[in-house]
Amino acid sequence: DWTMGAYREEAIRKIKEQVGDKKVICGLSGGVDSSVAAALLHDAIGDQLTCVFVDHGLLRLNEGEEVVAMFRDHMNLQVIHAQEQELFLNELDGQSDPETKRKIIGRLFIDVFQKYANQIEGAEFLAQGTLYPDVIESVSFSGGPSVTIKSHHNVGGLPEKMGLKLVEPLRELFKDEVRELGRELGLPDSFIGRHPFPGPGLAIRCPGEITREKLEILRKADAVYIDQIRKHGLYDEIWQAFVAILPVRTVGVMGDGRTYDYACALRAVTSVDGMTADYYPFSHEFLGETATRIINEVKGINRVTYDITSKPPGTIEWE
């Protein structure tokens, strides 16, 4: 009968067979998928693998440093940390259209990835943490027509452009199976259990124009929100939770003074595969306490709302 242990052995055998003694490049995003793909490849081919982690300046608080430290120091993988925050944020400056933002990030990501990958001599393969749901390119709602909702951030077309062959060791798996495989490979539980994080990062949680100021505020608010969720023991019940900073400032009162700061929206959903989702039914007590904490602890936010839209008709992310 089928077990993840057996799947792992079979996946390792297939990787060795495909790759032989050649070098492989793997893009690490900090998400569970690419992390599990990298760990599996490292298991199979050791130092024939080099990972490239692109920091686009749209990561959460301390995320870049934490991911690189885990893979380099804890797991002994070879990781190139591409610090390209300025490049991405400068190109995104003044852009407010969601698809334009996604396309800029996707294009730059490919350029940057290529630049760093070219430094790895003699590489013949590119590894990707593509899952089964990613293989299905468009989202089909039950009963409805098949429609593409958002241009997905991925590195499609990159292998051909770079003359590399593709290795996709997770393409038969769903998210929960990837997590199980990650545990099997010895990735820490705290890492495996992390909520999914989209490739375009905080850009799609900052509807409208992205500014460094808004990103800074968003990172702090998100950290408080996730801390609240963990403290109340709710993290594992939720598929994804995050803060979106709204492109509007509103008037408030703090002490004796008037404030004029950003409003934010809290988002939390339950889901099986991200294709459909229900908003999470937090208690009013939890919501009130969280709003108070965010406003007290995060300078720049004076109003907190809770997004109670399910998917469909909403999407999980705000863009």
Q: Give the CA-trace dihedral at 267, 273, 278, 279, to 10 degrees.
A: -10
Q: Rule CB under 6 A: choose which of 78, 259, 309, 315 binds ligand XMP.
A: 315
- Applying CB under 6 A, does 150 fall inside the site for ligand XMP? yes
- Applying CB under 6 A, does 153 fall inside the site for ligand XMP? yes
Nearer to ligand XMP, 169 or 199 (CB): 199
Q: Is 129 part of any known ligand binding site?
A: no
- Applying CB under 6 A, does 165 fall inside the site for ligand XMP? no
Q: How far is the CB of 134 from ligand XMP (least distance, A)?
A: 8
Q: Is 314 part of any known ligand binding site?
A: no
- Applying CB under 6 A, does 103 fall inside the site for ligand XMP? no
Nearer to ligand XMP, 150 or 171 (CB): 150
- Applying CB under 6 A, does 149 fall inside the site for ligand XMP? yes
- Applying CB under 6 A, does 311 fall inside the site for ligand XMP? yes
Q: Rule CB under 6 A: choose which of 30, 129, 200, 207 binds ligand XMP.
A: 200
Q: Rule CB under 6 A: choose which of 5, 46, 188, 196 binds ligand XMP.
A: 196
Q: Rule CB under 6 A: choose which of 228, 240, 290, 302 binds ligand XMP.
A: 240
Stretch that binds ligand XMP, among 197-205, 251-259, 288-296, 302-310 (CB under 6 A): 197-205
CA 289 to chain centre: 27
Nearer to ligand XMP, 150 or 249 (CB): 150
Q: Is 189 part of any known ligand binding site?
A: no
Q: How far is the CB of 157 from ligand XMP (least distance, A)?
A: 15
Q: Which residues are annotated as a binding site for ATP?
A: 29-35
Binding residues for ligand XMP, rule: CB under 6 A, are 149-150, 152-153, 196, 198-200, 240, 274, 311, 315-317
